[in-house]
Amino acid sequence: ENPALYALRQLFLPLIAEAPDAVVICNTAGHIILVNAQVEHWFGYAPPELHGQPLTMLLPARFRSASLGQWAHSLVTLRGPIGLAHPLAGRRKSGQEFPLEMSLSPLLLEDELFVVSILRDTVARAQENDGSPSTKKRRKTTSISSGKW
């Protein structure tokens, strides 16, 4: 196995495994190398189904061509995290769509460039930020159980 891919799996899989957002790590061609459990939960694809597929398969067709152009441009100019500001939608395996935000960050590992994509379900985030007592209680419980104040 390529040393960079080995390092990626050994170092980053444990870090992203339990992240609350969907995390997809791609190569510079935009093909999926590694995903966390949230990707399977949100999109309905098992990790082996995604491996080697383009990141854009998680987007509806209307966003795919524009996103590919933006992907290429981002890789040429990438100097830090990039948020894709235009409204995006995710597309589940079932075909159902949901609104999401995507940010891209470069990751240089063993002299090989990868792109980390963090996907956020904007509906779920709006519900978490609604300020209701149950939301505040859930946030406090999460903070205490994770050891973070």
**pTM of the predicted structure, to 2 decimals:** 0.74
Closest to 38 measured CA to CA, from 108, 105, 121, 109: 121
Q: What is the pLDDT of residues 54-75, one digit of tens each?
A: 998 998 988 777 555 566 555 5
Reply yes or no on whether the pLDDT at 136 is more than 90: no
Cβ proximity of 75 and 61 under 8 Å: no
Q: How confident is the model at residue 8 (pLDDT cuts 50, 70, 90)?
A: confident
Closest to 115 measured CA to CA, from 124, 106, 127: 106
Question: From CA 77, how far away is CA 82, in angstroms rounded?
Answer: 10
DSSP at 96: -
